[in-house]
Amino acid sequence: MSVMVRRRIVSRIAETLCAGAVLLALVPLALILFYVLRQGIGALNIAFFTEMPKPVGEPGGGMANAIVGTLILIGIAALFAVPIGCVCGIHLAEYPDTKFSSVVRFAADVMNGVPSIVVGIFAYGIVVLPVKRFSAIAGGIALGLLMLPIVVRTTEELLRLVPAGLREGALALGATRGRAVFTVIVPAALPGILTGILVAIARVAGETAPLLFTSFNNRFWSTNLGQPIASLTVQVFSYAISPYEDWHRQAWAGAFLLVAIILTLSILARLSVRGLEKMNRP
């Protein structure tokens, strides 16, 4: 057997193994999507989006309050995490090698690894206990704390993707450093930064643990930020552990909606980052 043939065979085997591994990795995703879709599609109807939860024994009902609640919670979280995270990310990208930057970067990475339940307990300790009330704000802050490191790191990474020529051009035309950053580099990286925010939102939208003891849950319609608020994840959790078929179906529908939201956000994120990548490869 010649060397060439042997090499070709080895290469073929390696390729097959790689392809097999990729398929194996995709199987769980496909199975999850398929299973949640199959279980959830039955309970998914207009009422699910427009009606309030009904007690056991009454058919129908929906999760209108939980859907709105989840949106409000994400809104509060984004309001809190996006400005801080973006400014932080810009700093890291602009001054990448200072001691302070490496400390901030390390802190963000550590924060990223903190289990979400710990963040929930933290928010319970600093927001819920002092005012003695579960509230939407507490839940939003917990989610915001989870979003923050993701926004910081993605903003930094994506600002660095902006071609150096853009910055040099701006500086050569006499722009100050601040002006170059905020009118040239950040706008160029904007799709990427938006992606980071979307990824961060997708990450926290599916969180249950940090909400259990912060935003709590609410059977009623409530948009009061100082009161407990319903969320899809907690509602799914409390339905899933109940003994009733009816509630299980609703839980599946809620799970399906959550997966759909997160999938959509992820796809949006992919699409918007594509623009940035194109710019980088002229």
Partner 1 sequence: MKKLIVLLVVALFAMTAAAQNVQINGAGATFPFPIYSKWFSEYNKLHPNALINYQSIGSGGGIRQLSAGTVFFGATDGPMTNEQITAAGFRILHLPTVLGGVVPVYNIPDVNAELRFTGKTLADIFLGRITKWNDAAIKATNPNVNLPNLDITVAHRSDGSGTSYIWCDYLSKVSPDYRKTVGVATAVNWPVGVGGKGNEGVAGLVKQTPGSIGYVELIYAIQNKISYGSVQNAVGEFIRASTETVSNAAAVAAKQMPKDFRVSITNAPGKNVYPISSFTWLLVQQSPSDRTRSAIMKDFVKWALTTGQKFAPELGYAPLPAEVVALELQALNTVK
Least CB distance to partner 1 at residue 251 (A): 11
Burial of 37 (0-12, 13-18, 19+ CB in 10 A): middle
| Of residues 45, 41, 60, 73, the one with CA closest to residue 218 | 73
Q: 3-class DSSP state for residue 54? A: coil
Does position 39 interact with partner 1 (CB under 8 A)? The reply is: no
Question: Which residue of 1, 3, 97, 132 would you call a contact of partner 1, by CB under 8 A?
Answer: 132
Rounded to the nearest 10°, the torsion over CA 73, 110, 89, 190 is -50
CA gap 183, 190 in Å, rounded: 11
CA gap 119, 115 in Å, rounded: 7
- How many chain residues bind partner 1 (CB under 8 A)? 26
**Token representation of residue 46:** 């207009």
| Contacts to partner 1 from residues 234-273, by CB under 8 A | 238, 240-245
**Binding segment toward partner 1, per CB under 8 A, in 28-36, 50-58, 83-91, 110-118:** 50-58
- Looking at the Cβ atoms of 161 and 240, the one nearer to partner 1 is 240
- Looking at the Cβ atoms of 30 and 126, the one nearer to partner 1 is 126
Question: Which residue of 133, 175, 190, 268 would you call a contact of partner 1, by CB under 8 A?
Answer: 133
Least CB distance to partner 1 at residue 86 (A): 33
Does position 212 interact with partner 1 (CB under 8 A)? The reply is: yes
Does position 10 interact with partner 1 (CB under 8 A)? The reply is: no
DSSP of 148-195:
HHHHHHHHHHHHHHS-HHHHHHHHHTT--HHHHIIIIIHHHHHHHHHH
Contact 163, 279 (CB under 8 A): yes
Residues ≥6 apart with Cβ < 8 Å to 112: 149, 150, 153
Q: Rounded to the nearest 10 degrees, what angle do helices 245-280 and 186-205 cross at?
A: 160
**Binding segment toward partner 1, per CB under 8 A, in 35-43, 115-123, 201-209, 215-223:** 215-223
Least CB distance to partner 1 at residue 73 (A): 16
- Looking at the Cβ atoms of 65 and 116, the one nearer to partner 1 is 65
Least CB distance to partner 1 at residue 190 (A): 39
- Looking at the Cβ atoms of 213 and 256, the one nearer to partner 1 is 213
- Looking at the Cβ atoms of 90 and 128, the one nearer to partner 1 is 128
- Looking at the Cβ atoms of 102 and 242, the one nearer to partner 1 is 242
Q: 3-class DSSP state for residue 208? A: coil
| Contacts to partner 1 from residues 101-130, by CB under 8 A | 128-129
- Which residues sit at the interface with partner 1, rule CB under 8 A? 54-57, 128-129, 132-134, 212, 216-220, 222, 224, 227-228, 238, 240-245
